[in-house]
Every structure is written in C-alpha cells, then in structure tokens.
Chain A
C-alpha cells in the first residue's frame, strides 16, 4: 500500500526555479489535491513523482523506497492527464484491458478485471463503443478506468477534469472521489479549480512560485488559512488594509480608514500594518439601523442561489457581500442604503501586512 514522501525536492529549468525544496508526506489511501495558479510548479511536481522528470535534488519515496531505484514497470503508478489519451481504434473494453494484456495477464483475469472496471465506471453498456462515440466526460472515465485496471494504487491526476464542460466536471469529480474511496487508492490530484479541491480532497496543498505555501484540510484552507495568499486564492474575499490601534489578550482593535474593527489575533503590535479579510458570504447586510458601517449598493447580481452585492462604504471602501436567495428576502436594490455589520464579526481574519505589498502577495499572475 503506497505512502508517498517528498523530501526537499527541487527542480530548475534554464534559470527558472520550478520547484524549491518541496517536502510532503501523503498517507496510504489519502486524496490530496495540489492547488495553485498557472506556473506555480504543480504539474512539474506531479511529473517528478511520475518519473517523467528527474528532480535536481531531493528524494521521492514510495513506501519508503526511492523511485529511482524502482524500474518504471514496477512502480505501479497510474497517471491520467487533462488531454484524454485513449486508443482511438480500440473499443472501451479493449482500452480498459490494454494494460493487463501488455503484462501478459491470463485471459480469464483480463476478462474479470475488465468487467469489474466497466461496472465501476458504470459503462457496461458502452463496452463496444469507440472513444469518438463517447462524450468527453465518458472518455475521461475510461482513461481513469484504464489506469486503475493496471492494478496501480498510487494515482497521479494532472487536471483530469480540465478539458470538460463545467457541469460535467462537477459531476465527474464526485464520481472520481467515490471510486478512489471505494478502491482505497492513494491519489495526488493537480487542479487550478478551488471548488474542485475543496469538495473532494482530504488535504489540500497550496503552491505558489514553486513552493508549498501551506497544507491543510479543506475547511482549514478556506475558513482559517495561515497565509493571505491562500485566503485570497481559494475564494473571493474582501481585503481591508488597516493599522492596529490596541491589543488585548487574543484580540486586536484595528483601524480601517477611520472604522474600528475588533478581530481575533495574537502577537500583533500597536501601530502595526495589517490586513483584515472577510469573505462575501460572511458580510451581513441590513436596512440602515444606525449601527455598523453605512453603505450604498452600487451593483446587484443575481447568481441563482446567491445575490451578490458590491457596496460603497463611507471612507471609500468597496465591500462585496453575498446573500443566499433561500430566505425569500427581496434583496437590496442599486442605490439603496444599507448597514454593514462587521465590528465584531467572528469571521474576520487578521494577517500581517505582506512585506512585498498586498497586491504582489495576492497576485494571480
């Protein structure tokens, strides 16, 4: 059963540091998503694990054994990438059994395993179809099935859903996750899609510029990340620049353009520059009460399950708020005045002001 250890893995192309000192431990049967913007090194990393690239330094161990010492055919790694690579002239069944046939498995075994696989990916009735007769989503399921049929237990998925339509992508990610759980697979899944990672991963690795920024469970990564980059990267958020006015035991009072906010946070100093973050769904709006911040609705967008508001708050602060449409509230209209209740909001997070500036820290480009 595969455990995976990366120890100080680095890789340089020309003069670009694609990976710097990556260390990560993945448990047997764990589903880990590697999430980061384009160019963060996530594909390079998965290619190093697959043995397609060799790191300049550091070690990659599968079950404690260095992959360099294991011949490729014995590594038993399944690899699925964004561009679906099925054999076009082979039926679904033949594509699925290909790996076993290459290994000279007995024909009875090939038959049994292939049938199991057809059931698993729910395509028994399409076994005679050719890839071109299938939708993109169905083709990608066959590609996953083919990788599983070879008996691999460690799976490397590089943007496996990236080439599919949004709605197919959503359905397929849950199927993929269920398959991995049912079969007890260890999976490393690379994606740039936050929701995909949040909804299926046991743990998420956030990468930026060739480094691991942080690792955590989806709820930690979204609700209480340690880094400002993570906070902004995994979902839309309001970032308010401010200065610490007072510190109490586990709380600070922060001044944001003349507004005072009480935010949980340790170890901050008076006068220190900070960034307060609050996600749109945690910004409560009411009709004007004289409490909280006074604002004006600048823009309303109906998103189906949510209404999204862009507000202009006194002091020239722009705040984005989102409200579920479940409550039949009529919502607010453009030009309407509202109160924004933030002062003691427990969902606010406090970050040190980044050394390189806020814009650079959260830049996605």
Chain B
C-alpha cells in the first residue's frame, strides 16, 4: 500500500506543459480525487503514477523509493482507464482473473481471487456472462473488480464513472468508495465532476493547465478555496468586485461598484486593493421584510431554478449584480416568485475575499 510523492514533476507534450512542477503527497490508504477541467493534466498525472509515462523533470517516489525508472509492471499500481477495455471474448470471471494470472498466480488461486472480488462488486451472478451482455454500469464494476483483483496497492481510476448515466453515477460513487476502502488500497480518482469529488474524496487536488490550484480536505477547499477559480469550480459562488475601503479591527468595509458597501473579514487585506468577494449560494439568505445580518440589500427575484432538492433564486441587488441563494427542501412552488421584492443578506464571516486576479476575472474563471 504505497505512499506516493510527486516532487516538482513536469511533463511536456511538444511545447505544451501538460504538468508543470507538480508536488504533492498521498498517504497510505487515502482516497484522493483529482479534479480539473478537460485538458488540465489529470490523465497525464495518473499515467505518470502508473509508469505509463515518464516525467521530463522532477521525481516520483513510492514509499520513499524513487520510481522514475521503474516500469509499470513493477510498480504495485494499476491503471483503470476510462474506457473499460474488457476482453470481449472472455467471461466476466476470466476478465477479473486475468491480472492475478498474468502475475504468475496458479489458475485456482487466480479464480478464487476473482470470485471474491466479484462478490464484493455484487456481480457473482454474472460471472459467466460476456462483457457485451452487461449494462454499462455492470461493465464499469467489472473494470473496477479487475483493478482490485490485480492486488495492486494503488488504484488509478480515470473518470471511473464518466461513461455512466447521471443517476447510476450517483449510486455507484458511494459504492466505489466503499469497495476501495474495504480493499485497503490507496486510490487516485480523476474526475471533472465536483459533486462526485466532494462526495468520495478524503482529499481533493484541483488541477488547471497542468498546475495545482488547490489541495486539501473537501471541507477546507470548499470553505476556504485558494482562488476565485477554485471557488467557482467547486460549489460555485456569486461574485462581487470591490475595493478595500477601510478596516476596523477584524472587519473590512469594501466598496462594491454601484455605491454599495459590504462588510467582510479584514484578515490579510490591504487598503485600496481591488478584490473579488465570493458568496456561497446556501449562505445568501432571502426574506420578505427582515434579515438580521451585517450585509443586507434590497433586491428583486429575477429567476428561479428548480433543482429537485432545492431552488436557486437569482436576486438582483440595486447595483445590478446578481446574488444566488439556494434553499433546500422547499415545498412545491418554492417560497418566492420572479418579480418578488425581497431582502438578500449574508454574514460578514461568510464573505470569501480574494485579491483581484492579475489576468482579469473573465480569464481567471475560464474553464478550458
């Protein structure tokens, strides 16, 4: 069960830096999610770990041992690609037994391992089926079973749920996590879906253009993201542009365009510096006539989005900016309608403050 470290790992394809001086560590038994948009370097990172690619610079360690020159077959790691790549002519059981067989286990032992793993992914009843007789979700579980049966301590899962329907993805993400945990393996799970990452990860690593944007516990990454990009990518937020006006003790007064003032935590802020204020949707409250919070603005409901478990209300405040408020478990129709005059408010402590991005806000938020 290896601990993995990357130290200043760089990988180029032509002139493009697929990964640029990436450093991080994964502990034994940990479930790490690598989250990032298409082209951010996620798959490259996995393949470097698997030994399917070699870094151009930097070092990779497994349990403290340098593995830069160790081949894929000697790494105690298994790469599970996005396309399941099952052998079409072999049964489910044979597909899963293939890894242990290839590693020189006797057939009886390999089949025994395979049956146990199939039991784990609840596919024992389909052991004799061929892959094309199974649904996508089942094939996905066979691919995972094959990874588990390989006995490798490090599972490298590339978009393991990417090919599945949304609803099935929801069911399987909890299942995958449980299965990996039961096996005791360390797992790196690559995804572009922030909900998936939040729900399965011990730690989240956010990649963008080959660089680490943030790395930490889901709770920390959500509550105190490292950048506006991360705040937007994970959870989303309403953004206001402003300038630090004054600071009084722990509180900063920030002038927001259109003559509004927002109270925010003053920590690490310098006067007259342009900033972005970010507000989580569930922290923006709306009410008809009274809100007791440091920041309250008059507003008008401009849109309502029904998301099933919640409604999102888009509230336009007097300066023309729009705040999004998310209310869960509402009754049919929701509490507010388009056109309603409301108050929108949020607590000082809930304002996330970022320095205005050097490259401009639009560029900062760009996904691809």
Contacts and interface: CB of A to CB of B under 8 A. Distances in A.
Interface of A: 37-39, 135-137, 165-168, 170, 174, 192-196, 198-199, 218-219, 222-224, 233-236, 279-282, 301-306, 308, 322, 324-326, 347, 364-365
Contacts of A222: 306, 308
Given A38-B165, A195-B307, A308-B199, A167 B328 contact: no
A364 B170 CA distance: 11
B137 A364 contact: yes
B307 A282 contact: no
Contacts of A168: 37, 367-368
Contacts of A235: 308-309
Given A233-B167, A236-B170, A135 B368 contact: yes
Given A168-B367, A199-B306, A324-B328, A304 B168 contact: no
B199 A301 contact: yes
A224 B332 contact: yes
Interface residues of B, number: 47
A324 B329 contact: yes
A165 B307 contact: no
A286 B199 CA distance: 23
A174 B327 CA distance: 19
Contacts of B219: 302
A302 B221 CA distance: 11
A122 to B, nearest CB: 12
Contacts of A137: 367-368
Given A165-B38, A192-B167, A364-B168, A304 B307 contact: no
A137 B365 CA distance: 14
Contacts, number: 122
A135 B307 CA distance: 26
Contacts of A136: 38, 368
A159 B328 CA distance: 27
A219 B306 contact: yes
A38 B167 CA distance: 10
B138 interface: yes
B160 to A, nearest CB: 15
Nearest to A171: B367
Given A305-B280, A326-B282, A281 B332 contact: no
21 contacts: A37-B165, A136-B368, A137-B367, A165-B37, A165-B368, A192-B166, A194-B167, A195-B307, A196-B166, A199-B305, A219-B332, A219-B333, A281-B309, A301-B199, A303-B199, A304-B235, A305-B282, A308-B199, A347-B329, A364-B165, A365-B168
A136 B37 CA distance: 11
Leading 5 A-B pairs by shortest Cβ distance:
A135-B368, A365-B135, A326-B282, A281-B329, A192-B165
Interface string B229-267: 000111110000000000000000000000000000000
Given A195-B308, A302-B218, A325-B282, A37 B333 contact: no
A60 to B, nearest CB: 26
A218 B309 CA distance: 12
A306 B328 contact: yes
A167 B37 contact: yes
Given A219-B333, A281-B329, A37 B167 contact: yes
Nearest to A168: B367
B280 to A, nearest CB: 7
A223 B332 contact: yes
A302 B222 contact: yes
A37 B167 CA distance: 8
A365 B307 contact: no
B178 to A, nearest CB: 9
Given A136-B38, A322-B309, A167 B367 contact: yes
B361 to A, nearest CB: 15
B310 to A, nearest CB: 7
Interface in B284-324: 285, 305-310
B211 to A, nearest CB: 17
A198 B166 contact: no
A166 B192 contact: yes
B367 A135 contact: yes
A192 B194 CA distance: 18
Given A192-B167, A304-B234, A165 B198 contact: no
Contacts of B192: 165-167
B3 interface: no
B74 interface: no
A198 B307 contact: yes
A235 B328 CA distance: 14
Nearest to A346: B331
B295 to A, nearest CB: 15
A223 B332 CA distance: 7
Interface string B131-148: 000011110000000000
A165 B234 CA distance: 13
A293 B312 CA distance: 32
Contact of B281 (A194, A302, A305, A365): A305
A168 B367 CA distance: 7
A193 B164 CA distance: 10
Nearest to A235: B308
A318 to B, nearest CB: 12
B28 interface: no
B135 A38 contact: yes
B75 interface: no
Contacts of B137: 364-365
A347 B308 CA distance: 13
Interface string B346-368: 00000000000000000000111
A201 to B, nearest CB: 9
Nearest to A220: B332
B341 interface: no
A301 B234 CA distance: 15
A365 B232 CA distance: 33
B195 A166 contact: yes
A224 B308 CA distance: 11
